[in-house]
Amino acid sequence: MTGRLAGKIAIVFGAGSSGPGWGNGKAAAVAYAREGAGVACIDLNQAAADETAAIIASEGGTAIALAADVTKQPSIDACVAATVARLGRIDILHNNVGVTHMGGPVELSEEQYQAALDLNLGPVYRCSKAVIPEMLKGGGGAIVNISSIAAIRWVGYPYFAYYATKAAVNQATVALAMQYARQGIRANCIMPGLIDTPMIYKQISGQYASADEMVAARDALVPMGKMGTAWDIANAAVFLASDEAKFITGVCLPVDGGQTCSVGAMG
C-alpha cells in the first residue's frame, strides 16, 4: 500500500464476484481499499458484496456492503444516499456491471438485447446520474467505467449486443469527461482484453468443448501468451482514480496484453 487514495471514498458497482476467485469488480474494490480509500461495495447479490467488504475489513480497511439492482434508479439512489450517510461523500465511481449474451440480431431475443442495454450501458447512465451531484458537492471526482476491447475490435465471439453496448460505454465516458472537465470530474474507461475471471466460466465457456480448451484458446490469442487477471484491471483502475492521473480524462485504456495491436490475435 502506498496510500495513493488515502482519504478518498469509492463506490464500486459490481463489487462482488460471480463465482469463486477474483472478478474485476471485487479486485478493484479491494485494490482501492489497499490504497487507502473507504469503499462502498455494491452488488446485486448482498452476500457477494458482504464477502468483498469482509476482505477489506480483514485487511484493516473501511468498507460497507450494500445490495442494488443497477437497472433500477431508486435502488442506485438508495445506495448512493447510504454511502454518503455512512462514509461522508463519494470521490470515485467505479462501474463494473455487465453481461454477455451470445448471438447476432437474428439469434438474440428481445429480452437479451434489452438486458445488454440495461446491464452494460444503463449503469453508466444511472450511476452517473446519482453520483455526479455528490461529486460536484465535493469539488470533483473520478469515474472509472469498465468497457471491453470488444468496443473497438471483433474478438472472435458472436455477441452483437455486447459489441454495441461496450462501444456506447466508450463514447458515454468521453461525453462525461468533456461535459464535466471544468468542474473537476474526470471520466475514463478501461477496456479489458481476455481476462481470466469467474464470469468467463459462466458466460463464455459454452463456446468451447471444455473449460480447459477455453483457457488454452484464449491464452493463445494474447500476444503476451496468457490471459490477464482481475488484478491487472484493478491496478489500472487505481491509477486512473488516483491523483497520478489528474491530467488524464476521456481515455479508453486497453488492458489486453497487446491484443488490440495484433491483427493475428483477433480470431
What span, in angstroms and rounded, lies between the C-alpha atoms of 178 and 172? 10
Residues acting as catalytic residues: 162
What span, in angstroms and rounded, lies between the C-alpha atoms of 76 and 67? 9
C-alpha dihedral (141, 145, 149, 155), degrees to nearest 10: 180
Closest CA to 221 of 151, 133, 154: 154
In terms of residues, how long is the chain?
Answer: 267
pLDDT tens by residue, the chain, 267 residues = 579 999 999 999 999 987 788 999 999 999 999 999 999 999 999 999 999 999 999 999 999 999 999 999 999 999 999 999 999 999 999 999 999 999 999 999 999 999 999 999 999 999 999 999 999 999 999 999 999 999 999 998 899 999 999 999 999 999 999 999 999 999 999 999 999 988 888 877 677 889 889 899 899 999 999 999 999 999 999 999 999 999 999 999 999 999 999 865 444
The string of DSSP letters for 31-88 reads: HHHHTT-EEEEEESSHHHHHHHHHHHHHTT--EEEEE--TT-HHHHHHHHHHHHHHHS
The pLDDT assigned to 198 comes to 82
Paired strand residues for 186: 142
- Between the alpha carbon of residue 120 and those of residues 96, 145, 187, the distances in Å are 9, 10, 17
Contacts of 243 (CB under 8 A, 6+ apart): 4
Helix/strand number for the chain, H first, E second: 9, 7
> What residue segments make up the domains of the chain, in order of their start?
9-195+229-258
Residue 123 host element (H or E) = helix 122-137
The pLDDT assigned to 182 comes to 98
Domain with residues 9-195+229-258, CATH architecture: 3-Layer(aba) Sandwich (3.40)
The pLDDT assigned to 246 comes to 98
Residue 145 host element (H or E) = strand 141-146
What span, in angstroms and rounded, lies between the C-alpha atoms of 264 and 267? 7
The pLDDT assigned to 148 comes to 97
- Between the alpha carbon of residue 261 and those of residues 70, 109, 133, the distances in Å are 33, 33, 38
What span, in angstroms and rounded, lies between the C-alpha atoms of 183 and 180? 5
Q: Which ranges in 138-190 belong to alpha helices (H)?
A: 160-180
What span, in angstroms and rounded, lies between the C-alpha atoms of 38 and 59? 12
The pLDDT assigned to 267 comes to 44
Task: Provide the 3-class DSSP secondary structure of residue 258.
Answer: coil
What span, in angstroms and rounded, lies between the C-alpha atoms of 4 and 1? 8
